Structures are given as C-alpha cells and as structure tokens.
C-alpha cells in the first residue's frame, strides 16, 4: 500500500536527480502535488494516480501539470494509457526543474536494481523532425532506435514536434508500443501547450521510460465487484460497459466514439467556417449538417471505421476502445472538427491530410485548428492577403456549388501551408508569444481588430485558449482552467450565476478524476465510487475530498479571467441564447430578460453575463473557514 508519493526530481541542466517523498495525507495525486511543486519550484510534472496498474479501467492516465505557456496560468493536461508503463518506474511523479543547454532526450529506466537510471542525451532534433515520418513520429522512431533495446519490457516515449520549439501551443504525444511495435494510436496531452514548456523551458524534446518494478496495485476483482454491486447492482465490467457506451458504440445513433456520436446528434448546432454558421438560419445549418456531414463526412467515418470495427485503446486494457481508427489516422471529434468543418473541410481524406500534418508538427490540435480557421476567415474576408501569411491560395468557403472532395482538399492543403508558415514565421506570422499578442500588434497596424474573428478565451495579459467545440455558454466560462472540461457544456440555458456555480462543481468532479489519474470517459461511475474506494482502501475519503476542494480553490485563487475580447465570442453566446428560444423553444423568463438586454446593447449584456457567471464561480470556489 503506497503511503507516500515518490517524486523523481530531475534537473536537465546538470543531469542531477534525487527522489523525494510526500506523505499521502496532504497531497493525494498528480494534480494536487503537481500544482504544489509547480508553484514552489517552477517545475513541469508528470504523474500517475493512486490506482495506476489497478484493475479499474481508465486508471492509467499520465497527468501533466505546470505553468502553461499559452494559457499563462497553471494547467492540467493528460494522456491515456501512458501511466501504465510509468507505474513500472516505481515512482508516482517525475518533476523537471532547470533547463538542458541543448535539446535533449530524457532517458529513465528501472530495470536493473533499486535505482532509476537517468540520462540526459543531446539530439539533433531539428534534423530528426525533418526526417522519416516527420515531426513527432520520426522523433518517436529515433528515440526508440537509440534506447529501445535497453528495456526488457516495452517502454513508452513522450515526444514533441516543431510546434513546441516555435509556438506556445505545442503538445506532448505518445503512442503505445506493443512487443516492439510502435502503434499508430496517438495519445496526446495537447491542451495547455506543455510540449512548448518542455522544450522551451526545460530543454527536453522527448522522454523515454519503462521498468520492471512491480508494486502492490489493487487487483482484487471480487472486492471491486462487491463495491459495484452495492452501489449499482452491477459488476465492475457491466457498469463500465454501460458507462462507456458513447465511446464504444451507441446503438441509439448507430455509431460510436466522440466523432461519430457528436456528428450524428448535433443537427443545427453544427459549427463550421470559423463559426460563421452561428449567423445562419437553422434551416441553412441543418441542410449543411445533413448534406455535408451526415451524407458524407460522417458516412465515410461510419463505413471505414465503425462498420469495419477499426478501434483501439490508448494502451490500457479498456472496453471503451474509444480510439477510432482508419489506417494510420485516429479520429476524435475535436481535432476533426477544428480541422474539419471549422476550416471548411467535410471529407475524410482532406481532414486526414491536415490533421496528420498538424499532429506530426506537434500542435495541440484543437488550438491549432481554431487558429487555422481564424486565419482562413481573415483571408476570405480580405483582412489579410495570402502573401502576408506566406501562403499561395485563398480558402474556398463558398457553400454554393461546394465540391465536398476537391474544395475540402483545397482547404486542407491551405491549412498545411499555414502550419508550415507558422513554423517558419513566414510573412507577418509569429506566434511565439501567442496569438493575442500577435493580434494586438497587427490589429494596430491594420486598423482592424483581427481577433474579433477568433473565438477564444482570454486569460491574464496574453493567455489564450481555443474553446471546446460545443456551441454552449459554458465553453466560454471564466474559469481558472479552460479548454478542457472544467465547465458545464450542456446545451441547456442555465442562468449565468447558476452556470458559474455548476462549472465550479464540475471542476471539482473533474479534479477528482484527474487527481486519481482517471480517464473521464469512465466518469459515469469513477467520480462517485472512487472516493469511497479511497475510504475503503486507505481510510482517507474525507481527507481526499477536502484536499480536492482546497485544490479547486487554490487554482481559482489565481484566476485572472479577461472579459471576452472578441466580438465573435459575444456573438457566439448571443446566438446560442437566441437559438434556445427560437429553435429549442425554451420559455425560461430569465432567458427572455437576457435576450432583451442583448438587443439593447450586446457588449454590455455580455459583460453582465460574464460577471454573473464569474460571481457564481467565485462564490462556489472561495474558501471560507
Ligand atoms: S476510454 Fe479511451 S482513453 Fe479512456 S482509458 Fe479507455 S481507451 Fe483509454
């Protein structure tokens, strides 16, 4: 039974390392301890939850914490399955402090004896990124070639791409390796740009790790089944099957995974052409959804992926098999939305081309796609010329006579050009300090607010985040961490004060999952049952939940939200509210009042809505003793 959290501290500047222990009473997992270390030491942390290696499905996420270069605040990001191999190092967390003088690979191995072998090995990373499969993929191959034979069991490799070197939105990628075979199932800690932090602040471009350490993970299925039966009258596997059906296969809609289920059910809530569809009529939107998405984009996905049962896991044994594949391409809703309809792409071949290039270059795909859609919109509106952005063409965004295959491909090729232009800083492009700062400089020069067309959440002086791809008020809430699901994204109208409170409550629930290293796709039982398991196994349910509340208020105490800077953010909210009345027939009197205010003065109404939401957040997360 782990009664300590063991942290391996590595200074890439010197190669110096040591192990520290933190008692399992104040810090219970990778988030509360990680945020503590990040604020004390300025470290970047990689940790697993207490149930890593256990029989609980979804318990092996690798959780990254630190200061986010794009959000400009503390952030939490995680990737599926990568915690399973990490657990074999016999530590709970790796913490980087200091910066390697040249780009380097961090090698960690616990195969021979008690100590972890630690090496910091320089690599010519720019050359590697240009070679072979390019970017994150060729770096994976190279690191495996360099170190793979030193591990008796399959290791795991975390890698970054050129985006981490040249922008603030570089993610961290990893694929499962099975019996020496590197798979195509990308898993990402994308949001928050921790790849950029790893490269620019710590000099580490990749981390390879593995070992043979076996610790006492919880593996008693009879006891687990007993807990599940008491609570749900179902065994663990039965309850998990039920809770994860959306991600595997949802019979009600005849498809599966986030891509399948979201596109099958969104109808008139579709977002396309850099959100311009929010200004369309419902009929125009549903026609677009039916003709472009259901009849083509989604149909291709269903035929090639769902019917053909092309699915995999993130690397841990999991019945949800949420990774929906087509050959080397993995299809999740949000990347295939931002680098799909949001960029004017409605064909799988075209979306694969753009997503694959963006992934290879190591971008957080949601932020990357949001930015590409914005730049295309600016070009289409003639606010910027292709030459200014170092590209050769304009987008084809006219839906009349739109050729689903060829025009999608044209837009995807433009997206690929823009990615290269961002990395090479062609024309006026330079996103090293983020898009907000860039927009401030160039809006002044152009005499027009370029960011008025970007949908983003602003934080602090220059922090920014492309929101999750749901047309709802919660996606733009002024929470201390945005861009992941620390908010409510239900399609209901929720009065802003209450919305703020609900977002705060949601954040606490999501923190339970993250702090236990749990995959949120299992939240249907995990957020309720696992605190009780903490009580049964470690006698610390109340302390754990209390620490979780403290963590939430600690994150909130550093909240520096900025009122929506972009007109399109305001329109995003306004049109959402209008749609609730006009299409969903919501007769809530408070909704009518808000719409009245928007009619009188939309900026003032939005400001009041924003502050009301913040009040709800604040009153729920402020700590009183
Ligand atoms: S639901 Fe997907 S990401 Fe989560 S544990 Fe299962 S396979 Fe991994």
| Ligand 1 centroid from CA 57, angstroms | 8
Q: What is the per-residue pLDDT for 216?
A: 80
Ligand 1 centroid vs 529 CA: distance in angstroms?
18
pLDDT of residue 291: 98
DSSP string spanning 576-604? HHHHHHHTT----HHHHHHHHHHHH-HHH
Asked if residues 168 and 306 have their Cβ atoms less than 8 Å apart, the reply is no
Dihedral angle computed from the Cα positions of residues 278, 338, 79 and 100, in that order, rounded to the nearest 10 degrees: -120
Encoding tokens for residue 307? 């019917």
| Ligand 1 probe mutation, 174, 318, 485, most atoms within 8 A of CB | 318
Contact of 281 with 479, CB cutoff 8 Å: no
φ, ψ (nearest 5 deg) of residue 45: -125, 145
**How much distance in Å is there from the Cα of 313 to the middle of ligand 1?**
6
Phi, psi of 122 (to 5 degrees): -65, 145
Dist CA 474 CA 464 (whole Å): 16
Q: How far is the CA of 244 from the centre of ligand 1 (A)?
A: 9
CA geometry: angle at 170 spanning 166 and 176, to 5°? 135
Cβ neighbourhood burial of 82 (10 Å; 0-12, 13-18, 19+): buried
Per-10-residue mean pLDDT of the chain, 625 residues long, equals 85 97 94 98 97 96 98 98 95 97 98 89 98 98 98 97 98 97 96 98 98 87 96 97 94 96 98 98 98 98 97 93 96 98 98 98 98 98 98 98 98 98 98 97 95 98 98 98 97 98 98 98 97 96 96 97 98 98 98 98 98 98 72
With beta carbons less than 8 A apart as the criterion, state whether 171 and 363 touch: yes
Supply the residue whose CA is at minimum distance from atom 4 of ligand 1. Answer: 519
Measured from CB, residues less than 6 Å from any atom of ligand 1 are: 58, 80-81, 247, 313-314, 316, 318, 320, 322, 519, 521
Q: Whose CA is nearest to atom 3 of ligand 1?
A: 80
Q: Give the dihedral of Cα atoms 202, 203, 205, 206; nearest 10 deg.
A: -60
What does the alpha-carbon distance between residue 353 and residue 138 come to, in Å, rounded to a whole number?
A: 17
What six digits make up the tokens of 439? 């927009």
Q: Is 319 exposed, middle or buried (0-12, 13-18, 19+ CB in 10 A)?
A: middle
């Amino acid at each position: 039974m782990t009664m300590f959290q063991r942290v391996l501290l590595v200074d890439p500047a010197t190669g110096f390392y040591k192990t520290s222990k933190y008692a399992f009473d104040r810090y219970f997992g990778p988030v509360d301890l990680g945020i503590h270390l990040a604020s004390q030491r300025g470290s970047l942390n990689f940790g697993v939850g207490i149930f890593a290696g256990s029989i609980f499905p979804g318990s092996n996420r690798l959780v990254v914490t630190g200061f986010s270069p794009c959000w400009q605040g503390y952030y939490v990001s995680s990737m599926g399955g990568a915690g399973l191999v990490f657990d074999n190092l016999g530590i709970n967390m790796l913490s980087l402090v200091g910066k390697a003088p040249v780009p380097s690979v961090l090698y960690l191995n616990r195969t021979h004896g008690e100590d972890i072998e630690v090496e910091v090995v320089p690599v010519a990373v720019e050359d590697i990124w240009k070679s072979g499969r390019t970017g994150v993929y060729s770096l994976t191959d190279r690191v495996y070639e360099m170190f793979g034979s030193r591990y008796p069991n399959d290791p795991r490799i975390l890698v970054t791409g050129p985006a981490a070197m040249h922008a603030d939105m570089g993610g961290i990628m990893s694929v499962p390796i099975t019996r020496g075979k590197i798979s195509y199932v990308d898993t990402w800690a994308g949001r928050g740009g921790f790849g950029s932090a790893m490269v620019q602040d710590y000099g580490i471009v990749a981390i390879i790790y593995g070992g043979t350490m076996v610790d006492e993970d919880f593996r008693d299925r009879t006891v687990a089944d007993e807990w599940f039966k008491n609570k749900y009258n179902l065994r663990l596997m039965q309850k998990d099957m039920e809770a994860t059906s959306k991600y595997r296969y949802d019979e009600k809609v005849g498809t599966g995974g986030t891509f399948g289920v979201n596109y099958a059910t969104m109808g008139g809530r579709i977002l396309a052409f850099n959100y311009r569809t929010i200004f369309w009529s419902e009929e125009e939107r549903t026609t677009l959804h039916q003709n472009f998405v259901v009849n083509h984009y989604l149909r291709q996905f269903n035929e090639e992926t769902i019917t053909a049962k092309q699915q995999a896991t993130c690397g841990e044994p999991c019945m949800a098999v949420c990774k929906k594949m087509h050959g080397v391409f993995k299809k999740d809703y949000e990347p295939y939305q931002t680098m799909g309809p949001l960029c004017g792409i409605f064909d799988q071949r075209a979306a694969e081309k753009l997503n694959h290039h963006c992934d290879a270059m190591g971008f957080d795909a949601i932020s990357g796609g949001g930015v590409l859609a914005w730049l295309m919109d600016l070009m289409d509106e003639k606010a910027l010329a292709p030459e200014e952005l170092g590209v050769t063409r304009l987008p084809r965004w006219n839906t009349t006579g739109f050729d689903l295959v060829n025009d999608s491909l044209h837009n995807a090729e433009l997206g690929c050009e823009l990615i290269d232009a961002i990395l090479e800083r062609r024309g006026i492009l330079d996103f090293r300090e983020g898009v907000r700062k860039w927009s401030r400089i160039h809006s002044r020069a152009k005499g027009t607010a370029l960011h008025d067309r970007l949908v983003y959440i602003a934080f602090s002086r220059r922090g920014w985040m492309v929101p999750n791809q749901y047309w709802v008020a919660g996606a733009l809430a002024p929470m201390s961490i945005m861009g992941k699901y620390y908010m409510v994204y239900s399609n209901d109208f929720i009065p802003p004060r209450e919305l703020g409170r609900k977002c705060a409550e949601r954040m606490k629930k999501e923190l339970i999952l993250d702090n236990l290293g749990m995959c949120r796709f299992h939240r249907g039982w995990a957020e309720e049952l696992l605190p009780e398991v903490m009580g049964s196994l470690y006698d610390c349910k109340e302390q754990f939940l209390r620490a979780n509340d403290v963590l939430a208020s600690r994150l909130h105490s550093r909240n520096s939200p900025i009122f929506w800077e972009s007109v399109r953010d305001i329109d995003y909210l306004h049109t959402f509210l209008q749609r609730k009345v006009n299409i969903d027939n919501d007769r809530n009197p408070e909704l009518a009042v808000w719409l009245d205010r928007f009619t009188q003065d939309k900026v003032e109404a939005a400001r009041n809505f924003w502050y009301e939401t913040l009040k709800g957040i604040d009153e729920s997360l402020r700590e009183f003793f």
